[in-house]
Amino acid sequence: MADTETFKRIAIALPEVTSAPHFDRLAFKVKRIFATLAADGKTANLKFTPEEQEFKCMVAPEVFQAIDNGWGRQGWTTIDIAAASDADIEAALAMAHAHAIGPAPKR
């Protein structure tokens, strides 16, 4: 199973990623934030599309859980780092990162 250092290493290795404090979390950003790591390092939040979120939560409910609020309805999903494999983290971060480098959402 993975740990906080693994999460940080994989996230920061993605192209053009920077990290900085964001409230009580550590945020990972390209053009916009795509992941935030909880201060205790046990969980992180990732930005998926709602469809990706539904799939991840269905396939691996012990690893992924939709955030139960408006942010969650937009695709923000919690990953339990200890329950995740390195491959889970790598795939999830790559997916969230791809959205962050794409075109800005239309309003």
Which pLDDT value is given to residue 9?
Answer: 97
Considering only the C-alpha atoms of the chain, give the largest distance between any 2 of them, rounded to a whole number of Å: 39
What is d(CA 13, CA 49) in angstroms, rounded to the nearest whole number? Answer: 22
Other Cβ atoms less than 10 A from the Cβ of 40: the count is: 9
* pTM for the full predicted model: 0.92
State which residues of the chain have pLDDT below 70: 103-107
Which pLDDT value is given to residue 1?
Answer: 79
Query: Under CATH, which architecture does the 4-101 domain have?
Result: Alpha-Beta Complex (3.90)
Which pLDDT value is given to residue 106?
Answer: 63
Extents of the domains making up the chain: 4-101
Tokens matching residue 9: 């290493």
